[in-house]
Amino acid sequence: MKYTSSPDDSPDPCTTPLSDCTNRVNRRKAIKKRKRKSMSQLEILYQEFQQYPDWDKQHISRIMKRTGLTEAQIYKWGWDQKKKLGYQEKVKKLEKSNLSELFASLPDVKPIIREPSQSEWWIFSCCETLMPHVIDFHFNKLQKSYKELSEELKQDNTYKKNLSCVFESFINDNIN
C-alpha cells in the first residue's frame, strides 16, 4: 500500500524532525510536571483522613469535588498517609518497648526433660579409653609426620600432598 499526501498536508517549512521531536518532549514535560497541593486541599485531606482513614470510591469522589484533585491524586495521598501512619506506629512501638516487655511477650515454653533410652546411651558411651601418655604419643607422632611433610614440600614444589594423606598414613601406622 502506498501512502500519498495531499497538497494541503505539506509540512511547515519551519519545522524539522528535530524541532518536532523537541516540541513533543517539551509538551510531555509540561504535562508531567507535578503541582503541589494547596494548603486548603491538604487541610481537607487531613480532616477526611482523620475522620475516616479507609476511603472507598464514593468517599474519594466527594473529596474530589471538594478539593479539585483527581481520583488518582487523592488515592495516592491516602495510600501514602496509611504507610506513613503504619511506619510511625512501628517506630513508637519499638521506642516504647524494652527487653522486659519483649521477654514478657514471648510464649512460655517449658523444656521437656526425659530419660534417654539404652540405645541413646550407647551413642554417647566410649568404647575405648586411652591413657594420657598414649594420647600424647599419638599427637607427637602426628606432629612429626606433618613436619616431615612440610619439609618435603619445601624441597620439592611439584609434589603436593594434602593433609588427608598425612592422616591416612598416621591411621595406617596405628592400625598395623
Given this model, what pLDDT does residue 113 score? 76
Closest of 94, 174, 162 to residue 130, by C-alpha:
174
Closest of 31, 66, 19, 25 to residue 46, by C-alpha:
66
Is the model's pTM score more than 0.85? no
Burial class (CB in 10 A: 0-12, 13-18, 19+), 166: middle
Give me the residue spans of the domains in the chain.
Answer: 36-98, 135-176
Given this model, what pLDDT does residue 126 score? 65
CB 160 within 8 A of CB 153: yes
CB 78 within 8 A of CB 64: no
The kind and range of the H/E element at 25 are helix 17-32
Given this model, what pLDDT does residue 44 score? 92
Given this model, what pLDDT does residue 142 score? 85
Q: Would you identify the CATH topology of the domain 36-98? A: Arc Repressor Mutant, subunit A (1.10.10)
CB 138 within 8 A of CB 174: yes
Given this model, what pLDDT does residue 28 score? 64
Given this model, what pLDDT does residue 104 score? 76
In tens digits, the chain (176 residues) has pLDDT values of 455 545 555 555 556 666 666 666 666 665 666 788 889 999 999 999 899 888 889 999 999 999 999 999 999 999 999 999 888 888 777 777 666 677 777 787 777 777 777 777 666 666 666 677 777 888 888 888 888 877 777 666 555 555 566 666 666 666 65
CA separation for the pair 163, 69 (Å, rounded): 75
